[in-house]
A = this chain, B = another copy of it.
Amino acid sequence: MNSKGAALAQQLVPSTYVQQGLDAVRSREKLVTSLLAQRRLPDEGWDDASVELLLHTLSAMDSNNFRGSAGAGEREARVFSPLVARRHFYLAHGVGRSGDVAAVQPKAAGSSLMVQVANALAKDVLRLAGMRAVQAALVLPVATGMSLTLVLLQLKESKPHARYVIWPRIDQKSCFKSILAAGLTPLVLANVLVEEEDGRPGGFLKTDLAGMTALMDQYGSDSVLAVMSTTSCFAPRAYDCVEEIAKLCQERNIAHVINNAYGVQASKCVHQVELAMRTGRVDAAVQSLDKNFMVPVGGAIVCSASREVVNRVAQLYPGRASATPTLDFFITMLQMGKHGYKRLLEERKHLAAYMREQLEALAADEGERLLHVSNNEISFAMTLGTFCSNIMDLQEKSRQLTLLGAMLFSRGVSGARVVSCLDHKTIAGHEFNAFGAHHEAFPVAYVTFACALGMQRGEVDLLVTKLRKTIHEWRTKQAKAEATASTSPSESELEHGK
């Protein structure tokens, strides 16, 4: 409401009331001014009403919402469905421009402003989490896998004849496929198994730095475009030792991309990425929006210690894109605030410790244990050594273990992964023994659980209760099956266990 409006309002409502009301409106404007000035997360999260007021103001600045204008272009952001228009807060022009996905749009000043601030907030939140070396960040409207592809395509522009990407094995399809999609050839580097000190079957997996050096030597710096390392992953794989990789890459003039998928939430992980950036070569790190910042799936942040790399990725992107991942992130950062985000990080840390304790207790009860993986603060692997130990048929063993996973899912535990170390998979011609285990001969089957940002204590308790119950049911089933030589589980029973 402008001053003329305020004067008129005072003819209808006493001026002291109107003034106090307008003071409140002004204080919200100050929030906005402060956001635009600092381009950082607000200390305290904004309430819904403040966010909506800002978004409605921004959308009023986009040409598709101008009153009394004539749209004579081929793209005027007309929206047919009011349901759709509303869910976008009337912002319909997307992000970017043909030249650059981070560019501002003449027709959409409001959307453009939102995008610029969102990218600044992305940088701020990464730095808040501990990645102080980050100098530029970009919210990409595609998820982690596709973002990695874009980064690789961009790297390829300046080294068009290099066709290999060294990839320390991580059994997750998206990142592997991100290399293939870029038209590049992955060189799979097996992980090193570090066995348990007490000699029991287990251990953890770490980067084979010697093997990586050998590969670099074998193929040569001209042929190897990049190393794609991975931090956050399922135990018992540890974070890749990105600091050492960064040094190797710097020495050999090979690019280094870190798939830091959901690593922002874990302080040790963040610290290692930070060290890598400070002491070696990290062209870019990619992190998932949904996993780190609790928004719906669809975006990622690519960041770098160099503004130039980030700009080049933005400029590679051909054309416009959906504003949704950026908008979701923007809203969430405003509502979370710096204190809210710090609190979430803190809570996750404590909850992970609690989850570890609870799972260790359960494992002990079941004659199993949690694998010790120092460089993995998010995922826990509990051995299943006593499960199916007497089944000799490996295929049958794999099926029975998969059944445990399926049973967990259908009993309301999502995200648990049973790894039999017995599954073979072919992806685009590449063979992976014991897919899921990140290693072709991991010595014991296990099941993993993650403690991710936003998990609740009640969920951990529920998980442990349900896990205990499901194991019992599974064992009972096994006992019966042995007694009666029953058939193995059906395909449909197994669906969710895969």
Contacts and interface: CB of A to CB of B under 8 A. Distances in A.
Interface in A234-277: 234, 261-262
Interface in A319-337: 319-325, 328, 331-332, 335-336
Given A142-B142, A335-B83, A106 B290 contact: no
Nearest to A299: B322
Interface in A377-423: 378-379, 409-410, 412-417
A296 B323 contact: yes
Interface string A28-56: 11011100110000000001111111001
A189 interface: no
13 contacts: A5-B33, A14-B495, A17-B106, A21-B110, A47-B67, A70-B460, A74-B450, A75-B290, A81-B332, A94-B298, A153-B182, A178-B319, A297-B321
Interface in A108-155: 109-110, 112-113, 116-117, 141-146, 148-150, 153
Nearest to A90: B49
Given A92-B297, A98-B173, A181-B316, A52 B61 contact: no
Given A57-B1, A82-B48, A450-B72, A113 B318 contact: no
A70 B414 contact: yes
A319 B144 contact: yes
A296 B143 contact: no
Contact of A449 (B72, B149, B415): B72
A144 B98 CA distance: 10
Contact of A81 (B26, B146, B335, B449): B335
Copies of this chain in its oligomeric complex: 4
Interface stretch (A190-198, A202-210, A451-459): A451-459
A48 B85 contact: yes
A303 interface: no
A335 B112 CA distance: 28
Contacts of A182: 153, 183
Nearest to A112: B13
A25 B414 contact: no
Given A36-B8, A56-B52, A183-B156, A145 B319 contact: yes
A86 B48 contact: yes
B80 A178 contact: no
A362 interface: no
Contacts of A82: 48, 82
Contacts of A95: 297
Contact of A143 (B32, B94, B160): B94
A82 to B, nearest CB: 5
A335 B83 CA distance: 9
B73 A414 contact: yes
Nearest to A316: B181
B294 A177 contact: no
A93 interface: yes
A68 interface: yes
Given A335-B80, A463-B70, A29 B17 contact: no
A188 interface: no
